[in-house]
Amino acid sequence: MGFFEKLKNGLKKTKENFTNKIDAILAGFGKVDEDLLEELEDALISSDFGYGMTEEIMQSLRKRIREQKITKAPDIKEAMQEIISDMLTFDDKNFFEIKDFPAVITVIGVNGVGKTTSIGKLAYYYKSNGKKVLLAAGDTFRAAAIDQLGIWADRAGVDMIRQGEGADPSAVLFDACRAAKARKTDVLICDTAGRLHNKKNLMAELGKMSRVVEKEMPDIHSETLLVLDATTGQNAVNQAREFSKVANITGIILTKLDGTSKGGIIVSICRELGIPVKLIGVGEGIDDLQPFVPQDYVKALF
């Protein structure tokens, strides 16, 4: 399956819920009137675009309808597509394309959102692009977590640095930095345990980890990616707000878009948080992680 096909496939549920609803509304109304606009508004809200975003989209739509004297239903669809696409567009630096190597990526997020899986996919992505990758098993909370990352390392065909259960994540990262330098690694990716319930500890730990990296690899390009689960809807937005308080998040990985019919959440996340969504998960397979390209997303959705 091609890249775009995979994206389309991953957005199937959202498409069925949202786009089909929009189509049905537009088909059901002969002319553009207030009732039609109200139904469109409901469709946006029920697809998790969020109240604020829905209002913004509707305002822009009304403006266009007025200015361009839109009367035909298909033209509304096109206008909506453009409005949403514009809302998602950030400048270049927000796209996921690390140009400076070596780089270190620390992956954070609450339990079960898809951190370890995304790291496996990322490792595979870089490896496939000719980069030398090393993983650090920084989730030392459970032995099973270390083993799970090990399985992904094998699948992706990359090495992993580990210590035992209960080890200090910073110590694992220290080992990993040393190994990365010795092996001339391009990308070091670090797993972490999801523990938002203890903010103070999390902050201390993330701080300690970044100091290890700064000290060991002072010139390295560093990213902290927050993983959010799209199926948790507006809750994901709240998680991001909490994590922003303790970490300097450079981007978001939004997982499980294939598992939700409310893919509008991505618009909510991009706009309300001001943190770019850099990667999206559209399935459980190793090649089901994609850089987030707003135009492609909107095209796949409509």
How far from the centroid of its chain's Cα atoms is residue 145's Cα? 21
For β-strands 277-281 and 289-291, DSSP reports them as antiparallel
Binding part of the chain for Mg ion, among 70-78, 144-152, 159-167, 246-254 by CB under 5 A, reads: 144-152
Based on the shown chain and the rule CB under 6 A, indicate whether residue 111 belongs to the binding site for ligand GTP.
yes
Give the contact letters, 215-254, x = binds to ligand GTP (CB under 6 A), - = no: ----------------------------------------
Give the contact letters, 178-207, x = binds to ligand GTP (CB under 6 A), - = no: ----------------x-------------
Question: What tokens were used for 92?
Answer: 């270049």
Based on the shown chain and the rule CB under 6 A, indicate whether residue 268 belongs to the binding site for ligand GTP.
no
The one among 50, 114, 251, 263 contacting ligand GTP by CB under 6 A = 114
Based on the shown chain and the rule CB under 6 A, indicate whether residue 138 belongs to the binding site for ligand GTP.
no
Taking the C-alpha atoms of residue 252 and residue 263, their distance in angstroms, rounded to an integer, is 15
Based on the shown chain and the rule CB under 6 A, indicate whether residue 284 belongs to the binding site for ligand GTP.
yes
Taking the C-alpha atoms of residue 134 and residue 149, their distance in angstroms, rounded to an integer, is 11
Taking the C-alpha atoms of residue 237 and residue 243, their distance in angstroms, rounded to an integer, is 10
- Write the single-letter amino acid at 158: V
CB distance 251 to 244 below 8 Å: no
- Write the single-letter amino acid at 299: K
Based on the shown chain and the rule CB under 5 A, indicate whether residue 117 belongs to the binding site for Mg ion.
no
- In terms of CB distance, is 49 or 125 closer to Mg ion? 125
The one among 47, 106, 116, 268 contacting Mg ion by CB under 5 A = 116
Taking the C-alpha atoms of residue 79 and residue 85, their distance in angstroms, rounded to an integer, is 10
- In terms of CB distance, is 114 or 251 closer to Mg ion? 114
Taking the C-alpha atoms of residue 51 and residue 264, their distance in angstroms, rounded to an integer, is 11
From the list 248, 185, 174, 187, the residue with the least C-alpha distance to 216 is 174
CB of 21 to ligand GTP, least distance (A): 22
The residues binding ligand GTP (CB under 6 A) are 109, 111-117, 139, 145, 194, 255-256, 258-259, 281-284, 288
The residues binding Mg ion (CB under 5 A) are 115-116, 145
